[in-house]
């Protein structure tokens, strides 16, 4: 039984990103669960850095841009794009931390 109403709604996207970026599906789903509770419209203002966390994985606009995003900030609410840039960030953090999930998640939360 799913804990969140839309927990399985994004499985196809998550599986694709997991395979493409070699990030465990469970890690991607765990970040989504913690960050947004599977709400693609989740928003959290981050006034101390002049940005906001958006979408399923609560991706910052500046972080997405650093990872190659060139669209309008509202596109970060699109589940495919949000999971793409959130997964790219996780992949980068896993590489930097030599696959230490704890360190990678802590770095993810730091933006």
Q: What percent of the chain has pLDDT over 70?
A: 97
14-62 pLDDT tens trace: 999 999 999 999 999 999 999 999 999 999 999 999 999 999 999 999 9
1 secondary structure, DSSP code: -
Whether residue 102 is predicted with pLDDT greater than 90 in this model: the reply is yes
**How would DSSP label each residue in 22-80?**
T--HHHHHHHHHHHHTT-TT-EEEETTTTEEEETTTTEEHHHHHHTT--S-GGGGGSHH
The model's pTM: 0.94
């Amino acid at each position: 039984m799913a804990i969140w109403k839309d927990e399985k709604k994004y499985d196809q996207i998550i599986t694709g990103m997991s395979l493409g970026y070699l990030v465990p599906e469970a890690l991607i789903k765990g970040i989504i669960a913690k960050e947004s509770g599977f709400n693609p419209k989740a928003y959290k203002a981050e006034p101390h850095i002049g940005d906001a966390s958006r979408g399923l994985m609560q991706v910052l606009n500046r972080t997405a841009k650093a990872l190659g995003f060139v669209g309008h900030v509202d596109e970060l609410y699109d589940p495919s794009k949000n999971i793409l840039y959130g997964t790219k960030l996780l992949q980068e953090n896993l590489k930097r931390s030599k696959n230490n999930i704890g360190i990678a998640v802590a770095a993810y939360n730091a933006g």
